[in-house]
Chain A
Amino acid sequence: MNQDALILFFIVAVFLVGFAIVFAYIVAPSSVNPQKSEAYECGIPTKGITWLQFNVGYYLFAILFLIFDVETVFIFPWAVVMKQMGMVGFIEICIFFFILILGLLYAWKKHALIWE
């Protein structure tokens, strides 16, 4: 990538977002009243701390996502050179897939993919 393109991209991005925020701040009429901080339309006002502890299932899904994310990182370079590497590359990626599918099967067997 060209350095100038990156710089231009950065400037445009900063300008676009900054302009939207500044423009909205200048143009928008401002009115503040207590109703605006309430829960929208439904529900009772909350009491105390509204943070709640997450289910461990989220963590499990996040880590499975991350592992397959890492996997895609290694598959992309293979996909680029797939044709020129030919059969050898295909066999190598098949071994790679096979080992990872074992992990997926394990997750399936242990009911890690079921939301509880």
Chain B
Amino acid sequence: MEFTGTQLMFIIFSAIIVIFSILTVTSRRILRAAIYLLFVLISTAGIYFMLNYQFLAAVQLGLYAGGIIVLIIFSILLTSHISQKFEKVEWKKSVFSAIAVIAGIIVTLTAVLNYQFEANNAITQEVDMNLIGTKLLSYDRGGYVLPFEVISILLLASMIGAIVIAKKGKKV
């Protein structure tokens, strides 16, 4: 079986994602888990780049890798038991979770393999910034202007919520 470059890249990226996802949930130091999660998110951005979703990849890098991880790290540093190392998981627990995970994998794989995927004959349209911008601001049928404005309300609500929670109990 021969690999093309694209397939090889996909294998590399998915291997990074799988390995670091496992490390994220098994790491016993919480700050390291956050950094492993960062690697997972960056490799996901790599897969988006492979699929030619530049905008989504940029969002993934800018928001998830740049913003969310910073937020997660700050919230870890806010807690008082940062340096605490989690205790080793009992072997019984790890055996049962391994069984649960393998069962989950089997169910998913059989479902995916049994499904008859049909080739999509529709012409694939390149999703570029121009298309996103036009769709986002158009008020015609199929335009997204209402969600666009609702998003600003959502952002406003989250901003106010964050300020209220962080400033709780302090006199302004």
Given contacts A6-B49, A54-B77, contact A85 B133 (CB under 8 A): yes
- A89–B134 Cα distance when bound, in Å, is 9
Given contacts A58-B74, A85-B133, contact A112 B67 (CB under 8 A): no
- A108–B139 Cα distance when bound, in Å, is 33
* B82 interfacial by beta-carbon distance below 8 Å: yes
Q: Do residues A81 and B130 form an inter-chain contact, with CB atoms below 8 A?
A: yes
Which of B8, B62, B139, B152 touches A100 (beta carbons < 8 Å)? B152
**Interface size on B (CB < 8 Å)?**
51
* A19 interfacial by beta-carbon distance below 8 Å: no
Residues of B within 8 A of A66 (CB): 63, 67-68, 70-71
How many A-B Cβ pairs are below 8 Å? 148
Which of A4, A58, A59 touches B5 (beta carbons < 8 Å)? A4
A 1-13 binary contact with B (CB < 8 Å = 1; else 0): 1011011001000
- A104–B132 Cα distance when bound, in Å, is 27
* A110 interfacial by beta-carbon distance below 8 Å: yes
A 49-93 binary contact with B (CB < 8 Å = 1; else 0): 101011011111011111101111110111111001100110011
Q: Determine chain B's interface SS by DSSP, over half rule.
A: helix
Which of A56, A63, A78 touches B136 (beta carbons < 8 Å)? A78
* A96 interfacial by beta-carbon distance below 8 Å: yes
* A95 interfacial by beta-carbon distance below 8 Å: yes
Q: Tell me, rounded to whole Å, the shortest Cβ–Cβ distance linking B2 to chain A.
A: 15
- A23–B103 Cα distance when bound, in Å, is 46
B129 — nearest CB in chain A belongs to which residue? A80
B 55-72 binary contact with A (CB < 8 Å = 1; else 0): 100010011001110110
Q: Do residues B166 and A112 form an inter-chain contact, with CB atoms below 8 A?
A: yes
Q: Do residues B79 and A95 form an inter-chain contact, with CB atoms below 8 A?
A: no
Which of B71, B78, B148 touches A56 (beta carbons < 8 Å)? B78
Q: Tell me, rounded to whole Å, the shortest Cβ–Cβ distance linking B54 to chain A.
A: 6
- A84–B143 Cα distance when bound, in Å, is 15
Among B18-26, B109-117, B153-161, the stretch that binds chain A is B153-161
Considering the complex of A and B, which 5 residue pairs feature the smallest CB-CB distances, nearest first?
Answer: A77-B133, A81-B133, A103-B159, A99-B152, A54-B77
Q: Which residues of B are at the interface with A, using a C-beta cutoff of 8 A?
A: 5-6, 8-9, 12, 46, 49-50, 52, 54-55, 59, 62-63, 66-68, 70-71, 74-75, 77-80, 82-83, 129-130, 132-134, 136-137, 139, 145, 148-149, 151-153, 155-156, 158-160, 162-163, 166-167, 172
